[in-house]
Amino acid sequence: MNVEKILKELTLEEKAALCSGSDFWHTKAIERLDIPPIMVSDGPHGLRKMKDDAENPNEAIKAVCFPTASALACSFDRELLETLGKALGEECAAEGVSVILGPGCNIKRSPLCGRNFEYFSEDPYLASQMAAAHIKGVQSMGVGTSLKHFAMNNQETRRMSYSAEVDERTFREIYLAAFEAPVKQSKPWTVMCSYNRINGVHSSQNKYLLTDILRNDWGYEGLVMSDWGAVDDRPVGVDAGLDLEMPTSNGKNDVLIVEAVNSGALSEEKVDNCVRKVLELVNKAEEYTHEGAVWDKEKHHQLAVKIAKECAVLLKNDDSILPLDKGSKIAFIGEFASKPRYQGGGSSHINSFKVSSAVEFADKYADVTYAQGFVTDKDETNKALLAEAVDAAKNADTAVIFAGLPDSFESEGYDRKHMKMPKCQLELIKKIKEVNDNIVIVLHNGSPIEMPFIDDAKAVLEMYLCGQGVGEAECSLLFGDVSPSGKLAETFPVCLEQNPAYLNFPGHEDTVRYAEGIYVGYRYYEKKKLTPLFPFGHGLSYSSFAYSDLEISENEIDADDILTVKVNVTNTGDITAKETVQLYIAPVEPYADRPLKELKGFEKLELRPNETKKAVFKLDKKAFSYYETKIADWYAEEGKYKILIGTSSAEIKAEGEVYLSNPRKLPIRFDLNSLCGEIKQYPEAAAMFEPLFSQIDVGNGDSQSDAISEEMIDNMIKDMPLRTLVTFTDVPQITRAKITAMLDELNKQLSDNI
């Protein structure tokens, strides 16, 4: 299809029509010009395609549910995400779906967001890497993705109307950064805008977001669609760069577009821009005919099992109680052992063709008894079930409790009210502890929970919502076929009140102040010296690893150089296992306000016993940078940086240092209200003003009280504006005219330097 030719042939009405869907899942066809419709479907961790004969758009075909994003991110494995993407792409190709709606890479600001299970991380670098790999995998199969929800969709409360009130640096450095790398590196065919408003403006009509940042700054060339029902004022959206409204508006918004063009409120060129993107998308989808494409459900189920094994995080393992001793008496307790919770509610809900439970696979390994213990449809202790479970635990060497959050505790559409587990499950754990000390807890939840039981459990295995292969994966991990290798992609605070968003979540009426700024997740806990329950990046193994021979290619680099960091990791245990090497950068005495450290690289290595492998990282300027609003750009401040190699954010195994020099200076201007302290801090300014400062007598007594007052005067001078030097001193040479002249010269010198 020749897009430019068709654009000339379309009537204004037809163009307006193409700017929205024909129904829930299709773009419009224009038969007269042979423009076919294409189909989109959810996403993100499985295919939720509407059945051909269904009346309800949410009635989906049978498919495979893979682990959800919160679990996937714990794999810290780009290749795995790409493999998952390829499988999803294969399913879409065979089922005639052109675009799968996902991945979602919104930042986890609060553990309470009902949709956290669909998002990757609290850290923008990790989230961006996971999303980029997912997109790469899907699109390598000739199927598009929709990177969502762009942007600031970090809660479900009032999700279609709240305004995220965020400062520019936080917006760019935390929330947009999660989208920036996948957009630039993996070029998603489509991006889905979010429901909410950002600083008062709906994302669906936010020109700053959709055109200035996405297209102009990041060079995005694909299509932008709305989230389902996110459109407020459609003509304003067209003007702002929202190409496609989804789903259909039943023609109502198409009429508004035509009227806006006819009245002169909207230029037809802007409508053309949207239509061009729709036609280009249709063209792209049509390029891949996928003729004869098929997919194998069973094979993809096996992949779901494999992925689940890579995602599980071993949070605690006292006395090496795991892996379980196959010869011992084991009780599996809790409804999730027979009916696991493995996915979340809402638009990502997959109609799984089968689900594996731990009970089903346990026999393969050992003689395991099962007791249901609790129900999940209400939070009420069932006395008979509790007694049966306590009995089973009494007669077992080890009690493995399959606990977690029931469906009603977290879902798309609403936020959690607290971080607690159901009371009936907590009571069950307590009662079991009374009869058995060997407790292992296997968790099924989309987002962090408080763990009042942590001291009662010898081991905790966090499965998150691990997809339909979860039961088989659990047995394989619990009995030691494979060692857990997941690492937490988010911090588990001790309690909700520790969380940085606590005071401003979910906001008041329609206003949500992102008052914690850049201090999201571990950036906050570390700076505040708060010890969380489990830190970001934490995850144990059945094996052990030693780190050695850290090599940093240079002691000093220029901002444009690439720094290479290498470190050896040796498996010092006696089983094959994987370790995720994490690289953090920590500015030493930065002038700018910076987190103590930030994740800037990770590599997952598989190691046989005694095997050593090298993790290699390449760091560019961006890795050292923060978003500097003075230049509206990322900026690597000159100075010393620590390179930290960790097995988690809290456990650093090796460290080195590099000095980064940057000839690019930030624009700076001094005036009569600049503080003497600022002048002293800035080398060029200090050099010019020092002779003048030296004329000011601050007293120089030698008694202790004189020393104190000298220090006090020094401090006062630091915070005094230059103008006060004139009035507070009686040095005749210090005049307002003289200082103004010096400032003019200094400012000229400084601007010449930039």
Catalytic residues: 227
Give whichever of 134 and 148 is closer to ligand BGC, judged by the CB atom: 148
- Interface residues for ligand BGC in 691-730 (CB under 6 A)? none
d(CA 83, CA 719): 58
d(CA 551, CA 616): 9
Compute CA 737 distance to the chain's CA centroid, rounded to the nearest angstrom: 54
Q: How far is the CB of 274 from ligand BGC (least distance, A)?
A: 20
Give whichever of 121 and 580 is closer to ligand BGC, judged by the CB atom: 121
Give whichever of 43 and 493 is closer to ligand BGC, judged by the CB atom: 43
DSSP code for 484: -
Q: Are 226 and 192 in contact (CB under 8 A)?
A: yes
Q: How far is the CB of 347 from ligand BGC (least distance, A)?
A: 3
Per CB under 6 A, 227 contacts ligand BGC: yes
DSSP code for 567: E
Q: How far is the CB of 357 from ligand BGC (least distance, A)?
A: 28
Q: How far is the CB of 279 from ligand BGC (least distance, A)?
A: 22
Give whichever of 119 and 584 is closer to ligand BGC, judged by the CB atom: 119
Give whichever of 156 and 462 is closer to ligand BGC, judged by the CB atom: 156
Give whichever of 69 and 304 is closer to ligand BGC, judged by the CB atom: 69
Q: Residue 212 forms beta bridges with which residues?
A: none
Give whichever of 60 and 615 is closer to ligand BGC, judged by the CB atom: 60
Q: How far is the CB of 120 from ligand BGC (least distance, A)?
A: 14
What's the half-sphere exposure (Cβ side, CA atoms, 13 Å) at 224? 30
Binding mask 129-158 for ligand BGC (x = CB under 6 A): -------------------x----------
Q: How far is the CB of 139 from ligand BGC (least distance, A)?
A: 17
Q: How far is the CB of 114 from ligand BGC (least distance, A)?
A: 11
Strands 459-462 and 313-317: antiparallel
Position 72, amino acid: L
Please tell me the count of residues contacting ligand BGC according to CB under 6 A. 7
User: Cis ω on the peptide bond leading into residue 506 (within 30° of 0)?
Assistant: yes
User: Cis ω on the peptide bond leading into residue 44 (within 30° of 0)?
Assistant: yes
Q: Are 48 and 351 in contact (CB under 8 A)?
A: yes
d(CA 318, CA 316): 6
Residue nearest to ligand BGC (CB): 347
Tell me the residue length of the chain.
754
Q: How far is the CB of 190 from ligand BGC (least distance, A)?
A: 11
Q: How far is the CB of 183 from ligand BGC (least distance, A)?
A: 17
Q: 287: buried, middle or exposed (CB in 10 Å: 19+, 13-18, 0-12)?
A: exposed
- In the sheet where 144-150 sits, what is the strand order? 40-42, 99-101, 144-150, 190-193, 223-226
Give whichever of 82 and 227 is closer to ligand BGC, judged by the CB atom: 227
- Interface residues for ligand BGC in 333-362 (CB under 6 A)? 347
Provide φ and ψ at 36, rounded to 5°: -80, 160
Q: 468: buried, middle or exposed (CB in 10 Å: 19+, 13-18, 0-12)?
A: buried
d(CA 245, CA 26): 11
d(CA 306, CA 296): 16
- Interface residues for ligand BGC in 588-617 (CB under 6 A)? none
Give whichever of 154 and 438 is closer to ligand BGC, judged by the CB atom: 154
Lookup result for tokens 């495979």: 64
Task: Give Cβ neighbours of residue 336 (< 8 Å, ≥ 6 apart).
Answer: 376, 402, 403, 404, 442, 444
Q: Are 209 and 236 in contact (CB under 8 A)?
A: no
3-class DSSP assignment, residue 259: helix
3-class DSSP assignment, residue 353: coil
Strands 190-193 and 223-226: parallel
d(CA 681, CA 683): 6
d(CA 221, CA 188): 9
Per CB under 6 A, 106 contacts ligand BGC: no
3-class DSSP assignment, residue 41: strand
Give whichever of 43 and 235 is closer to ligand BGC, judged by the CB atom: 43
Cα separation of the two ends of the chain? 49
Give whichever of 228 and 689 is closer to ligand BGC, judged by the CB atom: 228
Q: How far is the CB of 55 from ligand BGC (least distance, A)?
A: 16
Q: How far is the CB of 192 from ligand BGC (least distance, A)?
A: 7
Q: Residue 557 forms beta bridges with which residues?
A: 660
Q: Are 331 and 387 in contact (CB under 8 A)?
A: no
Q: Are 17 and 254 in contact (CB under 8 A)?
A: yes
- Interface residues for ligand BGC in 160-189 (CB under 6 A)? none
Please state the three-class secondary structure of 89-107 as a single string. HHHHHHHCCCEEECCECCC
Q: How far is the CB of 687 from ligand BGC (least distance, A)?
A: 57
Per CB under 6 A, 228 contacts ligand BGC: yes
Binding mask 425-454 for ligand BGC (x = CB under 6 A): ------------------------------
d(CA 729, CA 713): 13
Q: Take residue 408 and report the two structure tokens written for it.
A: 């009603």
Provide φ and ψ at 144, rounded to 5°: -90, 165
Give whichever of 97 and 482 is closer to ligand BGC, judged by the CB atom: 97
Interface residue with ligand BGC, options 21, 27, 42, 332 (CB under 6 A): 42
Measured at the alpha carbon of residue 451, what is the angle toward residues 445 and 454, in degrees to the nearest 5? 120
Task: Give me the residues that bind ligand BGC (CB under 6 A), please.
Answer: 42-43, 101, 148, 227-228, 347
